[in-house]
Chains A and B, each alone.
Chain A
């Protein structure tokens, strides 16, 4: 336990000093600042206004950029250390592979989740200060969704990092995973369905196993409980599940998926050549 916490602590310190972390924090913090400057809180679109409108915009942008940020910054965690022979040296000390791997996972989770979460907290504090009503239900939903989205992509990134030998290959696979999942949200699926006359149940099932799709639908479900603007997958969900059940699924499923990927990654890390 002592060594696990040590690895978490050292990974956190290393990440916080890294340039990618500064850019990562600036992007999400900057987004919120930009929304305030642009007067998003004053505008009204489809009945959403104030902080609700701001958080909605934030989450819609986050769904695109958060996964790729997590993938490209995390995927080199183990493969990069392997490339640069850091792993060879650091593992010459009596640290178990589990302590090293999970220490890296937890340390990296804190570094990727905190800036995204703190940007929302900043928005809430600043919005309250300006006299806006705080939409706590949306804030808590988005915290849960961001937590589970971070988990799934972190898990995928560690899995990729464990299976490939070079960090360049890991980066390439990350981009592919991101593009693939982005393409398989229902908007793209509709065109695929129309073009190829594929079975609609299959299309919907594909969309539902995509954590990005679940995140997208759940993120807007509080605003639009009828899910009328969300496309065919949303209609299907509305027919089959209650909104609260769906939100639960959208949080639990990516979390479990992320943990599974992280465990597979650990299994590969433990059972194949380390360097």
Chain B
């Protein structure tokens, strides 16, 4: 369970989140929407323990995401909006994930195959040299292989072709039971079949929160 209580986050004089309270429970599949600068990414980053809030408190399964980040991140999968230009080869990236998160290489290979990403010929290529779609598929495969209780996807399908999107949604449907899934998105129609809750944010506040 994720409990966000009266969170305020400022960057200088800019208020990015303004006294936001929200909670996410098991089986919540949430579309987090809003214009640029609404505070969606800030909220996600606070949940991931990247930001220190100015006010308020966040608890994930009762734990503080900054003080107990390792215990929390064992249960969290995250796919960013744009795949970062990681210079490691795929093999090295997989080693990093397996060693840090206790994931088996075979499990990542399995999900890569499900995402129609052929790992074998690309294992020794640097991650950043892959195409945008291949990078995104790889990050999705890793996120699914972690079998986390909390899955956070920031515009995950931005680089994917229609077939890859279908594969992604199919795999998510298979895995979202008993989990919390957060999708930061600008296009509701893309995720409306897999979400059961829609949250709209604007100017650092939650303006609507509806179950569907």
Question: A interface vs B, CB < 8 Å?
Answer: 2-3, 6, 10, 13-14, 17-18, 84-86, 88-97, 271-275
User: Could you tell me if B73 and A94 are in contact, using CB atoms closer than 8 angstroms?
Assistant: yes
Closest to B89 in A: A13
Please indicate the chain A residues that have their CB under 8 angstroms from the CB of B100 in the complex. 3, 6, 93-95
CB-contact partner of A86 in B50, B70, B77, B85, under 8 A: B85
Give a binary string over B49-65; 1 marks a CB under 8 Å from any A CB, 0 the rest. Answer: 11110000000000000
Residue of B nearest to A275 (CB): B50
> What residues of B have a CB within 8 angstroms of the CB of A13 in the complex?
88, 92
Q: How large is the interface on B (under 10, 10 to 19, 20 to 34, 35 or more residues)?
A: 20 to 34
The DSSP consensus for interface residues of chain B is: mixed
Q: Any chain A CB within 8 A of the CB of B111?
A: no
Contact across chains for A89 and B86 when beta carbons are under 8 A apart: yes
CB distance from A120 to the nearest CB of B (A): 29
Q: Which residue of A lies closest to B49 (CB)?
A: A274
What is the chain A residue whose CB lies nearest that of B146? A93
Question: Do the beta carbons of B51 and A273 come within 8 Å of each other?
Answer: yes
Are A14 and B87 in contact, CB atoms less than 8 angstroms apart? yes
Chosen A-B contacts, 8 in total, with CB atoms closer than 8 Å, are A6-B96, A88-B84, A89-B78, A89-B83, A93-B96, A95-B70, A96-B69, A274-B51
Identify the B interface with A (CB < 8 A): 45, 48-52, 69-71, 73-74, 76-78, 80, 82-88, 92, 95-97, 99-101, 126, 139
Whether A93 lies near B101 (C-beta < 8 A) is yes
Q: A6-B99, A94-B70 are in contact. Are A85 and B82 (CB under 8 A)?
A: yes
In the complex, which residues of chain A have a beta carbon less than 8 angstroms from the beta carbon of B96? 6, 10, 90, 93
Contact A88 B80 (CB under 8 A): yes
Tell me the nearest residue of chain A to B95, going by C-beta. Answer: A6
Partner of A275, one of B45, B92, B126: B45
Contact of A84 among B52, B73, B84 (CB under 8 A): B84
B138 to chain A, nearest CB (A): 11
